[in-house]
C-alpha cells in the first residue's frame, strides 16, 4: 500500500510540473439534449484521449499547443474541434444523430463502444444500448432488458422464461440492480416472467460481472446499472407500442426549452381486459410508470429527478355476496434526486438522494375471516461521487455513500376464526445502516500501453448489537500487445450486507430481504479474472475470452425442511457456508453494420459447501450449468426490413430427486413410516435446453414525423422442450421423472411507433 502511494505521489508530481492546459465539457445529443455517456474524445495520432463519464462530462489535459479534438460516438456524426489553451472551460458540445445512409461509410473512422471497452482497463463488462435490444425477440413480442442480459456470457437464467439471473456462479440475490442509482429489489412482473423495466424509458444498461469499480458494492456477483432516458430538451417527442400482452407510451419534451425537460413513460398489461371482454375473470395486471425531470441550472450544474413506480395486482372476489376475496399487491417505488456539478474544469461531482420501497400486501377474506399480510423494505440513501481529471495519465474517482435500510417483515392482521391459527402481530422494524467510501485511481504508463486501475472501497454495516466494516481492494489492468490485441487482468473483493430469505428452491416474489445480524455474517467474495481481447476494426467486431475464479464465503442457505414463511425466528433456520465458481467465457460481438449481434459461450462450474448439508460434502449449485451458448443476430435485410434471431443452448439446471424410500416402525411398533431417499444435493441435471426465437421488423414509411414499425415474431420456433417443472409420471409401464416444457411455439405481433 505504501509503495502504491509513493508511486502515485511521484507520478502525480511529475505531471504537475509539465505545462498543460485542460479542455473539458459536456457532450449532449443535439436533438434531445440528453447527455451522452462513454463518448470517445481524443487527439488522433497521439496518445491523448478520454471518454465522457456516465453524465456526459469529460476533461482532458494536454500540453500547450493547438489540436484537433475528435469527438466520436456510435450513431452520431463525428465532430472535430480546434482546441488550444484559449479554449473556454466546460464546453457544451452537441452531436448530431447520423443519417442511416452514411453509416457504412463512417464505420472505418469511428470508435464504437466495443472499442472503448476493448481499450479500457475495465473487463467483465458489457454495455448494451437499449435501441439494440428492441429488435431482439422475446415472449409475446415484449422487449425485455433482463431477458437480453440473460443472453450474455457468464449469466445463467433461473427458471425457464423467468427474470432470475445467476452471474458467474452466484445466487439470484447477489446482483445489484440499480435504476438511476436506486436499488430495484424486485425485477420481475408476473412471478418473474416479465422484467419491470420498460425499454422505452431506458437509455442504456451496463452489466459488470467482475473487476468492479470502487463506486459499486453491496452485492457479490454483478452490477446491472440501468439509466433512464433524460427527456428531450428541444422538442416534444413520443414513442410507444401496442403488443399482445401490454401497451406502452412514452412522452418527452421541453418544459422550458434547453433548460427543463421531462420524460414520462407508462406500460400496462391488458390480459385482464382481454379476458373481461369475453366475460372470463382474470383479475391480474401489472403496470409501470417512469418519470424524469431534467433541469439545466447553468453551465456547471444539472439536476435530475427520476422516479419509477411498478405494481403487480391480483384481486379475486366473489361479487355475488362478497363473502370470498383474495388478492395481492407487489411492487417497487424508486426516487432519485441527482445533482451534477463541475468544479473548475477538472472536478466533476455527482450527488444523489435516493429512496427505494419494495413491498407486498396479501389480503384474504372468507366469510367472517379476514387476513392481511404485509412486508416491506424501505431505503433512504445519500451518495456522492467525484471524478478528478488530474492529467492525461491520471484520473481519480472517489466518493461515499450511506443507506438506511428499514425492514418491516411479516405484519399480520387477522380477524375471525383464522386469528386462532394466525395471530395478528406487528413486529418491530429492523434497521441496518450500510455505508461505504472509496477511492479509485486510473493511470496510464508506457504511452498508454499499460493502464492500471486500482481502488479501495471500505464498506460496512451497522445492525443491532454489531457493526461490520471490511476493506474491499480492487485492481485491474490492461496491456496492449498491439493496438488491437489487449490482455487484461483483475481482482475484486465484494461484501454483501443483505440477503434474500427464500422458503424453498422455488423463488417467490414474497421472498423477503433481510440484513445481516450479529449472528449472520456478511457474504463476501474474491474474484480474479484474466482476459484477452482482439478488436477487428475493419468489420467492427470484438473477440474476447475471459477466465475467472471466484471464492465466496458466508453464503446463505436454509436448513433442510426449514419453514421461513411468516417465521420471525428465521435466523436459526439459516446456514452459512462457502462456494466457488470458475469458468471461461467467449464473446464475439459486433455492434454495427448490416449484421450485428453476438455469439457468447460459457463453460462454467459452481459449487457450494455447507457443513450441515449434503453430509458435509461439497455439492454443485442449483444453476451449475456446464455449457451455455447464446447467439443473437440482427440482420438488416433491406432499408425497411430487419430480421432478428436468438438461439439459446444451455445445460440443464440441477435438482435433487427422490430416488428411493425405506420403511421404519413407529415408536410403538404398531405401524410404519415411509422415509424418502434423495440423491446427493443437486446431483441430477435436467435435460439440456435449446430454443430459437425470431422476429421480423418492418419499418413503415415515416409520415409527418410519425415512424411506425411492425414486429412479427415467434418464440420457440421449433417447439422445443424448455423445462420449468419436474413431475413423476406414473403409468402401467412404471414411473419416471419427466420435465415439462414451459411454452412451445408462440407467435406474436406488435406495433411500435415514434414521433
Partner 1 sequence: MKKLAFFIFSLALLQGCLPKDKQIVIPAHEPKLVVFSQVIPNSVMIVALAKSFSILDSGYTNDDSGSANADSALLTNLLVTDATVVISYQGKTDTLVNMGKGVYVSLTIPQIVDETYEISVLDHKSKLQISASERMLSLVELKTTSLSQDKNGKFKLNYSFDDPAGSNWYMINVYQVDSTKMDSTQLQVQNLFGSGENQLAQTLFFSDQGFSDSNAAGSLEVNIDTTITKDFIIALSNISPQYYSYLDKRKKSQNLFTEIFKEAINYPTNVKGGYGFFLTHHPSIKYIHLP
Contact positions toward partner 1, by CB under 8 A? Answer: 278-280, 420, 503-506, 559-565, 614-615, 656-681, 684, 686-687, 716, 719-723, 726, 728-730, 734-741, 743-746
Q: Grid coordinates standing for 291?
A: 418519470
Between residues 362 and 635, which has the closer beta carbon with respect to partner 1? 362
d(CA 315, CA 750): 28
E strands within 591-722?
595-609, 619-620, 627-636, 641-650, 654-655, 658-665, 672-678, 684-685, 689-699, 707-715
Cβ(326)–Cβ(365) below 8 Å: yes
Shortest distance in whole angstroms from residue 622 CB to partner 1: 11
Q: Grid coordinates standing for 541?
A: 467486431
Residue 298 Ramachandran class (φ > 0 left, ψ -120 to 50 alpha, else beta): left
* Termini Cα distance of the chain: 55
Between residues 211 and 564, which has the closer beta carbon with respect to partner 1? 564
Shortest distance in whole angstroms from residue 318 CB to partner 1: 18
Shortest distance in whole angstroms from residue 156 CB to partner 1: 19
Between residues 384 and 510, which has the closer beta carbon with respect to partner 1? 510
Between residues 97 and 740, which has the closer beta carbon with respect to partner 1? 740
Shortest distance in whole angstroms from residue 683 CB to partner 1: 8
Shortest distance in whole angstroms from residue 749 CB to partner 1: 15
d(CA 47, CA 448): 7
Shortest distance in whole angstroms from residue 193 CB to partner 1: 15
Q: Give the phi and the psi of residue 103 in degrees, each rounded to 5.
A: -55, -50
d(CA 606, CA 624): 5
Among the listed residues 166, 167, 628, 217, the one whose alpha carbon sits nearest the alpha carbon of residue 383: 217
Between residues 14 and 506, which has the closer beta carbon with respect to partner 1? 506
Strand partners, 496: 523
Shortest distance in whole angstroms from residue 671 CB to partner 1: 8
Between residues 33 and 723, which has the closer beta carbon with respect to partner 1? 723
Cβ(90)–Cβ(26) below 8 Å: yes
Q: What is the largest CA-CA distance in the chain?
A: 99
Shortest distance in whole angstroms from residue 665 CB to partner 1: 5
Shortest distance in whole angstroms from residue 123 CB to partner 1: 37
Please list, in sequence order, all residues whose beta carbon lies within 8 angstroms of the beta carbon of residue 48, skipping any fewer than 6 positions away: 42, 60, 62, 67, 392
Between residues 24 and 739, which has the closer beta carbon with respect to partner 1? 739
Among the listed residues 708, 555, 732, the one whose alpha carbon sits nearest the alpha carbon of residue 241: 708
Output the CA angle 510-511-512, nearest 5 degrees.
105
Between residues 450 and 746, which has the closer beta carbon with respect to partner 1? 746
Between residues 274 and 595, which has the closer beta carbon with respect to partner 1? 274
Between residues 446 and 749, which has the closer beta carbon with respect to partner 1? 749
Bridge-based pairing state of the strands 723-731 and 707-715: unpaired
Shortest distance in whole angstroms from residue 689 CB to partner 1: 10
d(CA 229, CA 241): 17
Q: Grid coordinates standing for 338?
A: 441527482
CA distances from 335 to 260, 291, 380, 449, 623 (A): 18, 9, 10, 42, 33
Amino acid at each position: 500500500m505504501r509503495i502504491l502511494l509513493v508511486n502515485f505521489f511521484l507520478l502525480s508530481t511529475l505531471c504537475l510540473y509539465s505545462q498543460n492546459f485542460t479542455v473539458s465539457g459536456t457532450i449532449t445529443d443535439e436533438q434531445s439534449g440528453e447527455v451522452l455517456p462513454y463518448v470517445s474524445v481524443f487527439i488522433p495520432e497521439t496518445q491523448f484521449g478520454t471518454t465522457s463519464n456516465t453524465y456526459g462530462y469529460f476533461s482532458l489535459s494536454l500540453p500547450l499547443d493547438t489540436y484537433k479534438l475528435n469527438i466520436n460516438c456510435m450513431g452520431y456524426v463525428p465532430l472535430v474541434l480546434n482546441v488550444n489553451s484559449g479554449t473556454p472551460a466546460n464546453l457544451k458540445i452537441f452531436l448530431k444523430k447520423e443519417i442511416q445512409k452514411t453509416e457504412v461509410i463512417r464505420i472505418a473512422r469511428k470508435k464504437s463502444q466495443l472499442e472503448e471497452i476493448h481499450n479500457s482497463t475495465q473487463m467483465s463488462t458489457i454495455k448494451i444500448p437499449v435501441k439494440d435490444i428492441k429488435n431482439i425477440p422475446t415472449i409475446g413480442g415484449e422487449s425485455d432488458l433482463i431477458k437480453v442480459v440473460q443472453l450474455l456470457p457468464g449469466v445463467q437464467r433461473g427458471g425457464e422464461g423467468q427474470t432470475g439471473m445467476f452471474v458467474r456462479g452466484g445466487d439470484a440475490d447477489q446482483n445489484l440492480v440499480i435504476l438511476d442509482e436506486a436499488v430495484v429489489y424486485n425485477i420481475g412482473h408476473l412471478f418473474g416472467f416479465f422484467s419491470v423495466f420498460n425499454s422505452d424509458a431506458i437509455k442504456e444498461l451496463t452489466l459488470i460481472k467482475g473487476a468492479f469499480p470502487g463506486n459499486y458494492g453491496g452485492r457479490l456477483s454483478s452490477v446491472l446499472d440501468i439509466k433512464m432516458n433524460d427527456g428531450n430538451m428541444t422538442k416534444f417527442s413520443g414513442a410507444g407500442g401496442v403488443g399482445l400482452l401490454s401497451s406502452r407510451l412514452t412522452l418527452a419534451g421541453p418544459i422550458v426549452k434547453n433548460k427543463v425537460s421531462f420524460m414520462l413513460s407508462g406500460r400496462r398489461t391488458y390480459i385482464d381486459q382481454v379476458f373481461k371482454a369475453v366475460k372470463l375473470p382474470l383479475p391480474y395486471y401489472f403496470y409501470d410508470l417512469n418519470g424524469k425531470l431534467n433541469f439545466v441550472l447553468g453551465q456547471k450544474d444539472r439536476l435530475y429527478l427520476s422516479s419509477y413506480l411498478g405494481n403487480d395486482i391480483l384481486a379475486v372476489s366473489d361479487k355475488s355476496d362478497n363473502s370470498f376475496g383474495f388478492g395481492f399487491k407487489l411492487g417497487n417505488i424508486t426516487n432519485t434526486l441527482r445533482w451534477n456539478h463541475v468544479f473548475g474544469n477538472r472536478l466533476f461531482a455527482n450527488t444523489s438522494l435516493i429512496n427505494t420501497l419494495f413491498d407486498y400486501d396479501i389480503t384474504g377474506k372468507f366469510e367472517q375471516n379476514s387476513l392481511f399480510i404485509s412486508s416491506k423494505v424501505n431505503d433512504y440513501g445519500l451518495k456522492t461521487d467525484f471524478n478528478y481529471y488530474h492529467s492525461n495519465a491520471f484520473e481519480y474517482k472517489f466518493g461515499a455513500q450511506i443507506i438506511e435500510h428499514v425492514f418491516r417483515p411479516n405484519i399480520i392482521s387477522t380477524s375471525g376464526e383464522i386469528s386462532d391459527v394466525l395471530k395478528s402481530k406487528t413486529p418491530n422494524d429492523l434497521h441496518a445502516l450500510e455505508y461505504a467510501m472509496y477511492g479509485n485511481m486510473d493511470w496510464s504508463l508506457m504511452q498508454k500501453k499499460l493502464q492500471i486501475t486500482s481502488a479501495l472501497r471500505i464498506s460496512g454495516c451497522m445492525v443491532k448489537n454489531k457493526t461490520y466494516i471490511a476493506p474491499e481492494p480492487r485492481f485491474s489492468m490492461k496491456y496492449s500487445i498491439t493496438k488491437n490485441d489487449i490482455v487484461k487482468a483483475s481482482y475484486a473483493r465484494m461484501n454483501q450486507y443483505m440477503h434474500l430469505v427464500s422458503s424453498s428452491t422455488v423463488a417467490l416474489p414474497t421472498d423477503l430481504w433481510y440484513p445481516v445480524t450479529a449472528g449472520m455474517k456478511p457474504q463476501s467474495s474474491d474474484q480474479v479474472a484474466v482476459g484477452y481481447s482482439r478488436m477487428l476494426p475493419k468489420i467492427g467486431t470484438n473477440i474476447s475470452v475471459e477466465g475467472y475464479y471466484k471464492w465466496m464465503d458466508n453464503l446463505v442457505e436454509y436448513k433442510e425442511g426449514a419453514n421461513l414463511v411468516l417465521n420471525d425466528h428465521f435466523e436459526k433456520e439459516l446456514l452459512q457456508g462457502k462456494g466457488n465458481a470458475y469458468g471461461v467465457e467467449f464473446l464475439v460481438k459486433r455492434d454495427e453494420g448490416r449484421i450485428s449481434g453476438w455469439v457468447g459461450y460459457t463453460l462454467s462450474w459452481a459449487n457450494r459447501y455447507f457443513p450441515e448439508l449434503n453430509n458435509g460434502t461439497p455439492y454443485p449449485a442449483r444453476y451449475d450449468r456446464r455449457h451455455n451458448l447464446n447467439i443473437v443476430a440482427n440482420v438488416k435485410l433491406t432499408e425497411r426490413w430487419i430480421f432478428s434471431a436468438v438461439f439459446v443452448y444451455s445445460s440443464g439446471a440441477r435438482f435433487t430427486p427422490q430416488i428411493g424410500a425405506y420403511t421404519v416402525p413407529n415408536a410403538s411398533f404398531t405401524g410404519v413410516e415411509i422415509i424418502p431417499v434423495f440423491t446427493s444435493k443437486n446431483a441430477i441435471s435436467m435435460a439440456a435446453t435449446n430454443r430459437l426465437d425470431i422476429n421480423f421488423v418492418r419499418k413503415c414509411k415515416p409520415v409527418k414525423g410519425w415512424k411506425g414499425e411492425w414486429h412479427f415474431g415467434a418464440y420457440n420456433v421449433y417447439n422445443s422442450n424448455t423445462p420449468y417443472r419436474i413431475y413423476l409420471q406414473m403409468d402401467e409401464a412404471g414411473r419416471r421423472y419427466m420435465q415439462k416444457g414451459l411454452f412451445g411455439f408462440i407467435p406474436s405481433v406488435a406495433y411500435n411507433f415514434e414521433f
